[in-house]
Amino acid sequence: MPGQNLSWSRRLRRPVGAGLAVTAILSLAACSSDAGEGGKTTITLSMQNADVKSADPATWAIVEAFEEANPDVDVEVSGQPVAEHLQSLSIAAQSDTLPDVFWVYKANAEEMLEGDRLMDLSPVLDETGILERLPDSTVANYTADGKVFGAPYQGLLTGLWVNNKILADNGLSMPKTFDDLLEVARTLDAKGVVTISDGASQSAFSVWQFLVWLDRFGFQDKADGLLDGSEKWDNPDFIRMYEHIAELRDAGAFSSNVSTQTYQQAVDQFLQGKAAFLDSGVWAASAIQESEVAPDADFWRGPEFSDGTGEQNIVMNVASAPLVVAKKVAEDDAKLDAVKEFLEFYYSDEGQQILVDNGQPPVTDYEPKLDPVKQSVLKTAIDETREDGVTSPESQPDLLFPVDVSNAIYDSIYGVIQDQLSPSEAAALVQKALDNQ
């Protein structure tokens, strides 16, 4: 699963201790050495997971394949949990000791670009042919002041995983609209079956389905205004969206222990055949594929709303937080060439197929090769993005805001799901976070 999603929890609000911050920056500085063994050029890659090999197998596999294909380049991979990672990068940016290539939130990247710490990747991406293979929406999302400051790390393809057997066993068909989903929830609740598996404990970020609901209630048209303050989060459209979440809650759609259940426990609930839907993304495809529900698994982009605002036939299939390159890399020709080679490999057909082989969708225009048996679950998600008329937003809404605002968005949604906040109070919670920026 994309690491930034796993780590968007309330712990981000806790300040990182000075000792930890100093240790982290020393670690970043240490791994920024140009020295390589046997004449190799060394580049550093800093990620948002403490154990990249196990937590992000796709990135790890790409690095290994790249080093095999480019024996003259050594990629030193390091990582920390998101909060510590971002804190370390903030300090490193001040001292100009950033890693060569690193994962970072878009908002942080824009600050670093403004501080003249990031490379404009436009020439590199254009020279290597990467730029023309990226969706226009991705390029636009990672462009500021005419500079392309990042490239997509992985894709965020999110929605609801479906257990078709549960629906069929209860005389239900696949829903299309919100009213359909509401009827499914009422029917399943009457039979003691969970409709949507979610988990708020230590994982308040796990509300991906409801983030795309925001787009079905006009988020894309409101985004610029929300960022510059001319638009308010507590607007009638968003409040109406929260009201629909409350309707689902009152229909018994969520597990009774949603407040104490973690995201992983929510996944397990679905894998054990105890929930009709799972709120998640493509990163769950591998676990579903290996479970007993695999033969009955499907992927759904979510309900359409008759009272929504704007486009309804959408799926959240966007780039996650970007990979960026420190500006100082351009001062070393050998290092710059190595970074170019790494990016060219990452976004090559071979690199993109490695993503696919590790349960991730491609982020370029690459047509993936999918095993119809061994990757049947992932295929259902990718197929959903290719249905006639389906479009995608430019970005997942929470990725456009600072961490405090993103956390408020998650808390507002789970606040309604847990009946702790009314729809109006939920919208006001996010607006307060925006006002505090």
**pLDDT (0 to 100) of residue 11:** 30
**pLDDT (0 to 100) of residue 38:** 60
**pLDDT (0 to 100) of residue 320:** 87
**Among residues 378, 400, 39, which one has the least CA distance to residue 228?**
400
Can you tell me the distance from the alpha carbon of 145 to that of 393, in angstroms, rounded to the nearest whole number? 21
Q: What is the token pair recorded at 213? A: 């609901």
Domain boundaries, the chain: 3-154+320-369, 156-317+378-435
- Predicted TM-score (pTM) of the model is 0.82
CATH fold, domain 156-317+378-435, is: D-Maltodextrin-Binding Protein; domain 2 (3.40.190)
Chain Cα centroid distance, residue 359:
14
**pLDDT (0 to 100) of residue 310:** 86
**pLDDT tens string for the chain (437 positions)?**
444 443 333 233 333 344 444 444 444 544 444 545 568 999 999 999 999 998 899 999 999 999 999 999 999 999 998 889 999 999 999 999 999 999 998 989 999 999 999 999 999 999 999 999 998 889 998 999 999 999 999 989 999 999 999 999 999 999 999 999 999 999 999 999 999 999 999 889 999 999 999 999 999 999 999 999 999 999 999 999 999 999 999 999 999 999 999 999 999 999 999 999 999 999 999 899 999 999 999 999 999 999 999 899 999 999 888 999 999 999 999 999 999 999 999 999 999 999 999 988 899 999 999 999 999 999 999 999 989 999 999 889 998 888 899 999 999 999 999 999 999 999 999 999 999 98
**pLDDT (0 to 100) of residue 20:** 45
From residue 164, how far is each of 252, 255, 292, 304 by CA, in Å? 19, 19, 13, 19
CATH architecture of 3-154+320-369: 3-Layer(aba) Sandwich (3.40)
Q: What is the token pair recorded at 315? A: 């799926």
From residue 380, how far is each of 174, 364, 366, 393 by CA, in Å? 14, 19, 17, 20
Can you tell me the distance from the alpha carbon of 430 to that of 404, in angstroms, rounded to the nearest whole number? 9
Residue 125 contacts residue 151 (beta carbons within 8 Å):
yes
One fold for both 3-154+320-369 and 156-317+378-435? yes
Can you tell me the distance from the alpha carbon of 374 to that of 59, in angstroms, rounded to the nearest whole number? 21
Counting Cβ atoms within 10 Å, is residue 283 exposed (0-12), middle (13-18) or buried (19+)?
A: buried
**pLDDT (0 to 100) of residue 28:** 54
Q: What is the token pair recorded at 265? A: 């426990």
Q: Which amino acid is at 44?
A: T
- DSSP letters spanning 167-210: HHHTT-----BHHHHHHHHHHHHHTT-EEEE---TT-TT--HHH
Strand, coil or helix: 116: coil
Can you tell me the distance from the alpha carbon of 252 to that of 196, in angstroms, rounded to the nearest whole number? 9
